[in-house]
Chain A
Amino acid sequence: MAEPLSPLGHAFITGDHGNSAGGVGIAITERKNLSIVQVTAWRETVPAILTAISNVTGLSVPDKPGAGRSAGEKSVFGFAPGRYFVVAQASDLEDRLRKAIPLETGTIIDLTHGRMAIRVKGPWSEWVLSKLFAIDFSEHAFPVGFGRATLHHDIHTNIQRIDEETFDLYVFRTFARSFWQTLGHAAAEVGYHVQ
């Protein structure tokens, strides 16, 4: 498989930025070497899909809107009825899902070359993301492990909460550089670190 290049180019500048003199509010990283796969169930095959995803990734996810789970580099979450993001640092993820999910159970699309994964971590992550997306980031409305599909202006974003102060964002690669810069502007107020 061709190795994906970062879409960030010259926009990727490591170090502290913005108002970071008093400490950094968030750290922003590009998550690399991931396989990103969308799995879609037919209407009556959601339980079978969830079992197959669990067999492949070891992550069991309940059949509830937006439910998900993450462990280490692996993530699974729902973002629409019967539709799941499955993410892992394994180049054979798509193959293993295809073997586990025949067409009668569902369909599989490899999004690895179509998305970029950004991790936002830190005590001000909810604050910064709330500037960009019109959804409730508080933990009671957006619990750990859960996923959301939303947008910032016309940039569709899938978001998963990894822990209390960490979120993974998946954006289209063609918009990723622009989005990365917007994220930096939103984070300047609290100071941010790029690594």
Chain B
Amino acid sequence: MIIKCPYCGPRDVIEFTYQGDATRQRPDPASSDQAAWSAYVYDRANPMGSHREFWLHSGGCRQHLIITRDMATHVISSVGFARDAVASVKGGEHP
């Protein structure tokens, strides 16, 4: 599998570290809702198809990326810096 890093260009998957599902929403840290925390920590949808996930370009620019990958075919439909996604959620603030 080749991942096209937005900074480094196309690189072999061996340079990257998978960092999990990027669709999870952390519960409010003040919350003591055990079901919500359990779901956040353990529940994964494992869809056969498009999946949004975190990867770290650990063997290159060391940036965190958000990648949309088809779990059945490994075809990657989008790659971007995670910090851009976080910045857009926070209205342009620093992540």
Interface set of A (CB-CB < 8 Å, partner B): 43, 65-66, 79-81, 83, 134-136, 141, 148-151, 156
Contacts and interface: CB of A to CB of B under 8 A. Distances in A.
Given A65-B7, A81-B7, A81-B81, A151 B61 contact: no
Nearest to A83: B61
Interface residues on B, range: 10 to 19
The majority secondary structure among interface residues of chain B is loop
B64 to A, nearest CB: 11
A134 B8 contact: no
B63 A150 contact: no
A81 B12 contact: no
21 contacts: A65-B8, A66-B7, A79-B61, A80-B61, A80-B63, A81-B63, A83-B61, A134-B12, A134-B14, A134-B15, A136-B10, A141-B9, A148-B8, A149-B8, A149-B59, A150-B8, A150-B15, A150-B59, A151-B15, A151-B59, A151-B60
Contacts of B59: 149-151, 156
Nearest to B87: A43
B60 A150 contact: yes
Nearest to A152: B59
Nearest to A149: B60
A125 B82 CA distance: 35
Given A66-B7, A81-B63, 10 more contacts: A65-B7, A65-B8, A66-B8, A80-B7, A81-B7, A81-B61, A81-B81, A135-B11, A149-B61, A150-B8
A134 B11 contact: yes
Contacts of B7: 65-66, 80-81
